[in-house]
A and B are shown apart, each in its own frame.
Chain A
Amino acid sequence: MSELNITQQILEDSNELLLKVEVPQDRVDAELRKLAKKLGRKVRIPGFRPGKAPANIIIARLGRDYLIQEVAEDMAEDVFKEAIETIDEDKIVPGAYLRHIEHDPLTYEFVVPLKPEVDPGDYRAIRVPIEPVDEADVLKLVDEELHHLLERNKVWQPVERPVQYGDLVTMSIKMTVDGETEIEQDEWEFIPDDDDPTLSPEFDAAIVGMKPGEKKTFTIDFPEDDGSPWAGKTAEFEVEVKGVKAEELPELTDELVAENTEFETVDAFKDAVEKGAREHLQSEAERKFESELLEKLKEGATIRYAPATLAREIEELEKEREDIYKAYGFESTQQLLDLQGKTIEEYRKELEPDARSRLEERLLLDAIAEREQFEVSDYEMEQYLRDAGLEPEQTDSLIEELKKNEGYRAFIRQLILRKKAFELLEAIAKGEDVPEPGQHPVMEAPAVEEVKEVEPEEGEEVEEAEEAEETEEASEEEE
């Protein structure tokens, strides 16, 4: 049977390979006859018993165009498998799809995603300034923390001054609407608030400025859209301010610290807060450094990958997020999306930037690891698992897995290579001296001191000799 006629075209924009595959006529005819024979067993053709009509009669009866369509669909998978074998496996990634079928002559257009192309650029020239922690920022954070502690413990202290917003006012109040008494209290406490007024903004404003012991009578017109029971009505108020209290922060004392924190003294608390603040600012600076580093790396790099590669990354991210949602008690991502009124397409669109960034970072680190010719030793792989902070039994079983499962080995190796590439980038960006490509050290298991094996026969002789000496010495002493 004739060979497929395959032409390849690289789609630069999308990093894909377009495979045009023309199927020779003799193969199409053979498939047509096969299909016609199969259909002939079901189709009733006058003059023939079922299954007895020859292929050309069935084809003429059912229509060649219709049968070609059927044949084209049936053959697509086999044609693809045959065509894909002509391409170097290392150049392509999964995610191929059939774009178009031409029936005369039978021609398929398959789009095959190509392996991402990555040029990390001149990454060895990247420098990122790492900003030292500013002591003023540390002190500011410490002050804020101390202020929070005082805020949590503030007390109301009586004051002899006119009422201000935020004060605690004790007063007698009588509110009358249409001759009916609505509120009448002697010791009414309230806090005038200009953002969230108590009865109405006018009421709070009327109280602000009154001195302790002062009496006042006033009216307020509640607007129609007030929402209170008195909307559209006029209320008369008779009030007398009996006391005013203002918030006062307590003094920072050892007692206050001891009551509210795990520390006994102000100094100990301050030291701990300062240490925490410095660590926080340090890690902030590191995060900033890392993100600037990755940004600069991406700026100088050229990365090309097929849409199918990104789609796979989104799918991967979707699965990882689903595991998190499940841990929070959701049955599936769909359940969460239903609650949010979001479609899966919208959700995937949201994931795209994260997936893109993650994919590009990984591709770049892989390319750098390759260019730097990093190596990974068995010891490094074991050490990587030991440092993962797992339970000892779990670590042991993973190390066992590492020894027998080639796929898992390759996976861990890849993770270590990326880690090495990133650590190298960090060192370069900080301006440190780094080894040349191909000169990077590989950690090996520390040498264990060899225990000299003593052959039993010789050992016996030595012992005997020693014994003999001892006996001699003993006899001399006796003498």
Chain B
Amino acid sequence: MHLYEVLKRPVLTEKSLQLADEQNQYVFEVDRRANKVQVKQAVEARFGVTVTNVRIINMKPKTRRRSLRQTAVRKTAWKKAIVTLAPGESIQLYEGV
């Protein structure tokens, strides 16, 4: 797996932004095959920062039923990585104001 295939997208939610603001931790969806070392290398290469810690969480698949037709909507399992950066460093997830 190439280094650039590891990071799939930043997870942008209220909670993830709060983590970034308060604890300098950034949340990404990563490839399900990726390990902590690969995530560390990928983030450092992609954003030019120093990663001090990586935590990986395997998210379970979720099924939601729509009430009217009772059709099942399945969200597949995915892997989440919470990356802690060295103090004073940050990632600009979106350009702009």
Residues of A within 8 A of B (CB): 29, 32-33, 46-49, 52-57, 59-60, 64
CA distance A48 to B15 in the complex (A): 8
Q: Is the CB of B97 within 8 A of A57?
A: no
Give the Cβ gap from A84 to chain B, nearest Cβ, in Å.
Answer: 28
Chain B contact residues, CB within 8 Å of chain A:
11-17, 94, 96-97
Chain B contacts of A47 at CB under 8 A? 11-16
Enumerate chain A residues within 8 angstroms of B11, measured Cβ to Cβ: 47
Q: Which residues in B have their C-beta under 8 angstroms from that of A48?
A: 13-14
CB distance from A58 to the nearest CB of B (A): 10
- Given A47-B16, A57-B94, 11 other A-B contacts at CB below 8 A? A47-B11, A47-B12, A47-B13, A47-B14, A48-B13, A55-B97, A56-B94, A56-B96, A59-B97, A60-B94, A60-B96
Whole-angstrom CA separation of A64 from B11 in the bound complex? 21
Contacts of A57 in B (CB 8 A): 12, 17, 94
Q: Is the CB of B14 within 8 A of A56?
A: no
> A46 CA to B14 CA in the complex, in Å?
9
- Chain A residue with Cβ nearest B18: A52
**Across the interface, which residues of B come within 8 angstroms of A33, CB to CB?**
97
Contacts of B97 in A (CB 8 A): 29, 32-33, 55-56, 59
By the criterion CB–CB under 8 Å, are B94 and A49 in contact? Answer: no
Q: Are A54 and B17 in contact (CB under 8 A)?
A: yes
Nearest A residue to B11, CB-CB: A47
Q: Please state if B96 and A53 are interface contacts (CB–CB under 8 Å).
A: no
B residues less than 8 Å from A56 (CB atoms): 94, 96-97
Enumerate chain B residues within 8 angstroms of A53, measured Cβ to Cβ: 14
CB distance from A26 to the nearest CB of B (A): 10
Chain B nearest CB from A44 CB (Å) reads: 13
* Cα distance A55–B17 in the bound complex, in angstroms: 12
Assembly CA distance A63 to B55 (angstroms): 33
- Nearest CB on A from B94, distance (A): 5
Residues in B with CB closer than 8 Å to A49 are 14
Query: Could you tell me the distance between the alpha carbons of A64 and B12 in the complex, rounded to whole angstroms?
Result: 18
Closest 4 CB pairs of A and B: A47-B13, A29-B97, A60-B94, A48-B14
